[in-house]
Amino acid sequence: MGKLKLTTGRINGFLCSPATPQTFLWDIDVPGLAVRATPPNKQNPTGKKSFIFQGKLDGKDIRMVIGDIRVWDIETGDHSRPGAREEARRLRALIDKGIDPRTEKKERIQKIRDEANRAKHTFFDAVKDYVEKKRRETDSLPLKPRTQHDYLAMVAAPKKRKNGTMGQPGLLYSLADVPLHKIDSDAIRAVHQNALKHGERQAAYAMQVLRAVLNWNGVKIANNPLSREAAGKDRIRVPQSKAAKKPIPVERIGGWWKALDLAANPPTRDYFRFLVLTGARVSEPKKILVKDCDTVAARLTIRDTKNREDHEILFSRQVAAIVKRNIAGKKPEDALFVLADGKKTIATIIDRSGAVFRAKDLRSTFATIAARLVNAYALKDMMNHLHAGDVTGTNYVRTDDDTLRAGWQAVADFIEAKAAEPPPAEVADLDAAREAKSKAAA
């Protein structure tokens, strides 16, 4: 059939003979545009009709379907349906530019699918992907379980307590169901303001998590208050985490050491002793197993520490005694320390010594004492710190076991020597007051 001007009436009256697989009605106005009809069948008594486009690219014929005539109009009309002539002209323009319209269509469809998937990808999904797939750039290791737990807790829904009341949601929970690409600067500011109600440190951590997840996903937010490009007056400043520097004062360390004996739970007492004698991080002694301790060689290994390396501690006499007490009667797979309520033990020690402290302060206490007694390179190794940026420490200095063991022994001896000294006046007065009060009550 020759070419003629396609109209709605001609298209509707155009039929394909049952004896022919398909037939075409070509448009005279737009080269390459046609209606293709197929024979009628039970499902479609008039046959199926579609707009198609045909052209040549690099000397080869290209034919592709534009769409069903029930969806597409020959013209744009009232814009309730797309126009086939307009689409055919667009496809012709692509060919004239040397672009294969079939490839362009695939890419366009994929982009639409990607956008749809992106709309379904919530901030909760992004956090979950982050904790599962994020790898450190230095060694390609995954995030530690504690870090994964902390990140997921940020988007956790409130849980019902045993007493029937509801707990607090995660600080980023309000963003959990928000599509990642729809998070804007106003949402970030609102979350930050709410997080500040829980304290500046918690708010800072929440912003660190939010920023990390957004950056990992390459999300760009206009006027992002977490970006360095944001104006100073509009920026949310997220301070870097710093170790708390609250060591027990040297003049009180002796009283603190003696007060440990008054705490009720022996393993918890030994746990605090171990922290201050070794400089270990609060969480590290809790994962030491009996099989990690070598009492013959007087050393133990803490596995997979914060810097992702194993850390070896060489026993002082005092630590050797602690380990010996706590492995007695246990199997290799048992934990070295079985801890009770540490808060009660801390309260007892503070009450008896007057030295206010937290468990994390004992690492700082150790470092403060050790800094008096050993060289800087030995102290870094005893604290399990990397020599980052220190060429000498990284490439040349090797602290031998004898030096390290002597360092740990020097710290332990210093603490015991302080415990043997008379207590400060105010501590002595406190004991006297307690004794007088007890006699008066009797």
Q: What is the CATH number of the domain that holds 285?
A: 1.10.443.10
The pTM for the full model equals: 0.60
In a domain, 356, yes or no: yes
- In angstroms, the CA 202 to CA 209 distance is 11
Q: Are residues 303 and 197 in the same domain?
A: no
Angle CA(309)–CA(314)–CA(318) in degrees, nearest 5? Answer: 135
* Domain assignment of residue 113, yes or no: yes
In order along its 442 residues, the chain shows pLDDT tens digits of 568 999 989 998 999 988 899 999 999 999 999 999 999 888 888 789 999 999 999 999 999 999 999 999 998 756 678 899 999 999 999 999 999 999 998 998 888 787 777 777 899 999 999 999 999 877 788 888 889 999 999 999 999 888 888 889 999 999 999 998 899 999 999 999 999 999 998 999 999 999 999 999 999 999 999 988 888 888 998 877 665 568 999 999 999 999 998 887 889 999 999 999 999 999 999 999 999 999 999 999 999 888 888 999 999 999 999 999 999 999 999 999 988 778 888 998 999 888 999 999 999 999 999 999 999 999 999 999 887 667 676 666 788 999 999 999 999 999 999 999 987 665 555 555 556 556 666 5
* CA–CA dist 14, 52 (Å, integer): 15
Alpha-carbon torsion (291, 358, 153, 213), positive or negative: negative
Question: Do both 268 and 331 map to the same domain?
Answer: yes
In a domain, 12, yes or no: yes
Residue 20 DSSP class: S
DSSP string, 371-401: HHHS-HHHHHHHHT---TT-HHHHHT----H
Domain CATH for 85: 3.30.160.390
Sheet with 293-294, edge to edge strand ranges = 293-294, 299-302, 311-314
| 326, part of any domain | yes
Specify whether 135 is located in the same domain as 89.
Answer: no
Last residue of a domain, one of 206, 234, 262: 234
Q: What is the CA radius of gyration of the chain?
A: 37
Check residue 216 and give its pLDDT. 93
pLDDT of residue 53: 96
Quick check: is 213 in a domain? Answer: yes
- 316, 411 in Cβ contact below 8 A? yes
Instruction: With respect to residue 389, please indicate whether it lies within any of the assigned structural domains.
Output: yes
Where does a domain end: 234, 258, 280? 234
Are 408 and 250 contacting, i.e. CB atoms less than 8 angstroms apart? Answer: no
Q: Looking at this protein, which amino acid is placed at residue 47?
A: G
Show the tokens assigned to 24. Answer: 């075409």
292 and 425 inside one domain: yes
pLDDT for residue 442: 54
Judge if 311 and 382 occupy the same domain. yes
Quote the CA–CA distance of 275 and 281 in Å, as a whole number: 7
Residue pair 77/71 in contact by the 8 Å Cβ criterion: no
Residues 273 and 395 in one domain: yes
- How many domains, in total, are found in the chain? 3
Nearest Cα to 188, choosing from 217, 170, 210? 210
Strand, coil or helix: 67:
strand
Dist. CA 382–CA 154, nearest whole Å: 33
**DSSP conformation class of 179:** B
Q: In this structure, are 256 and 337 located in the same domain?
A: yes
Give kind and range of the element (H or E) at residue 255.
helix 250-259
C-alpha span between 70 and 47 (Å, rounded): 12
Looking at residue 241, its pLDDT comes to 64
> From residue 357, how far is each of 237, 333, 351, 413 by CA, in Å?
29, 32, 11, 21
Residues 280, 219, single domain; the answer is no
Same domain, yes or no, for 215 and 279? Answer: no
For 134, the domain range is 124-160+169-234
Shared domain check, 204 and 273: no
Q: Does 242 map to a domain?
A: no
Give the residue from 53, 84, 118 where a domain finishes. Answer: 118
Both 368 and 332 in one domain: the answer is yes
Answer yes or no: is 1 within a domain.
no
Both 293 and 436 in a single domain? yes
